[in-house]
Amino acid sequence: MSMTEYIEEAEQVLLHTYNRYQIVLDRGEGVHLFDADGKSYLDFCAGIAVFALGYSNENYKNAVKSQIDKIIHTSNYYYNVPAIEAAKAIIEASGMDKVFFTNSGAEAVEGALKAARKYAFLKDDTTDHEIIALEHSFHGRTMGALSVTGNPAYREAFKPMIGNIKFATMNDIDSVKAQISEKTCAIIMETVQGEGGIYPAEEAFLKEIRAICDEKDIILILDEIQCGMGRTGYMFAWQRYGVMPDIMTCAKGLTCGIPGGAFVLGKKVAENSLKAGDHGTTYGGNPLTTMAAKTVFEEYKRLDILGNVKTVGEYLYKKLDEIAQRYDIIKAHRGIGLMQGLEFTVPVADIIKECMNDGLILINAGSNILRFVPPLVITKDDVDEMISILTGCLDRIRS
């Protein structure tokens, strides 16, 4: 069938909750994707910051294939070796204490919220605790994660949300202090906001948040679902600031395409929150998913992914800065490593479509921001190719 026919069939059977681009992706190789008609695209989306290792890492593919031949799923009633090894890798990389594997990033946020509230409950035996989240944040679409997502438009149709959530402003410590009460049990934030427009936390802001949490015994939850797993040049973005959370959520690059996530607890929360029977999951931490995670950590070391992100990320920043200076429809450039954005004075939908026509996949973060979250194995040559396509499209649109 042609791509048009596939798309027509898809609209008959898939719930229309996405305004999908009009291509059918069929396979990947390296940092390129190919549609059902065989057209090649340079991928600067990586499945929304997921496919960190690119599409042809043989060690990753072979590890997943070999696990399929052994066993895909058992149950969390039993132990399995890949889960143990993947958890050890996370603990080694983070310096934190305990891991709970989930099916997704949103589910990791749900678990983190439960752990924070259980911690508070065990202190005073009450259930009216408050959580502070940040405006323009994005933590997921499930009810708990949506409740702490700082975009009212996402929440409006699904009210009432879970209760006792307050919102403050990113990088405005006074706005956070204004929301704190004796009932505050947790502050949740992305170390680098993704969907909200690629806004990194300022070092002073994050360190003050940490100090407040220490002083008042408030749980700091850092959402590293998009900005973690090496995307900023550090395994976890908070390591750039030297600020360790009490709970961390991660997903996306953690398993590089096999659905999976985790929330990770520091010692204080691990010993004083969720106990047997408080939380669970059917698929989370199964052997297939955790074999993928284990192998991701191994490949990061073998390929020096963090070193590559720092080198190529600096190069990407320089090139995007040059573009920002060149075009008056670009008002800002920000980001860290291989998580960057260009903010435009106009909507970027047409720019994305033009780039796609020319063989470049980009995505937005809000209506007027181009987001650059490519596989973490890209090279400077890939950046040059992307810049060439993007500037060609911008020249046509501007003329």
Write the pLDDT tens digit of every residue in 327-336.
999 999 999 9
- Residue whose pair of structure tokens reads 């920002």 in the numeric block: 324
Q: What is the pLDDT of residues 61-73, one digit of tens each?
A: 999 999 999 999 9
Fold adopted by 3-56+304-398: Aspartate Aminotransferase, domain 1 (3.90.1150)
- pLDDT for 387: 98
C-alpha distances in Å from residue 10, one per residue of 20, 364, 368: 10, 23, 28
Q: Are 232 and 340 spatial neighbours (Cβ–Cβ below 8 Å)?
A: no
Q: Are 29 and 7 spatial neighbours (Cβ–Cβ below 8 Å)?
A: no
Mean pLDDT of 213-226: 98
Please state which CATH number belongs to domain 71-303: 3.40.640.10
Total residues belonging to the chain? 399
- What one-character-per-residue DSSP string does 141-180 give? SSHHHHHT-S-HHHHGGG-S-SSSEEEE-TT-HHHHHHH-
Q: Are 136 and 172 spatial neighbours (Cβ–Cβ below 8 Å)?
A: no
Mean per-residue pLDDT over the chain, rounded? 97
Residue 115 has pLDDT above 90, yes or no: yes
Cα separation, 336 vs 293, in Å, equals 23
- pLDDT for 397: 84
- What one-character-per-residue DSSP string does 227-285 give? TTTTTTSSSSGGGGTT---SEEEE-GGGTTTSS-EEEEE-HHHHHSS--TTS---SSTT
Q: Name the pLDDT band for 2 (thresholds 50, 70, 90).
A: confident
Mean pLDDT of 42-62: 97
Residue 399 has pLDDT above 70, yes or no: no
Mean pLDDT of 53-82: 97
Q: Which helix (H) or strand (E) holds 309?
A: helix 305-326
- pLDDT for 1: 85
Q: What is the pLDDT of residues 273-309, one digit of tens each?
A: 999 999 999 999 999 999 999 999 999 999 999 999 9
Q: What is the pLDDT of residues 245-261, one digit of tens each?
A: 999 999 999 999 999 99
- pLDDT for 398: 77
Q: Are 105 and 261 spatial neighbours (Cβ–Cβ below 8 Å)?
A: yes
Which amino acid, residue 135? Answer: E
In this structure, the dihedral spanned by the alpha carbons of residues 346, 348, 349 and 351, taken in order and rounded to 10 degrees, is 110
Domain boundaries, the chain: 3-56+304-398, 71-303
Residue 358 has pLDDT above 90, yes or no: yes
Residue 372 has pLDDT above 90, yes or no: yes
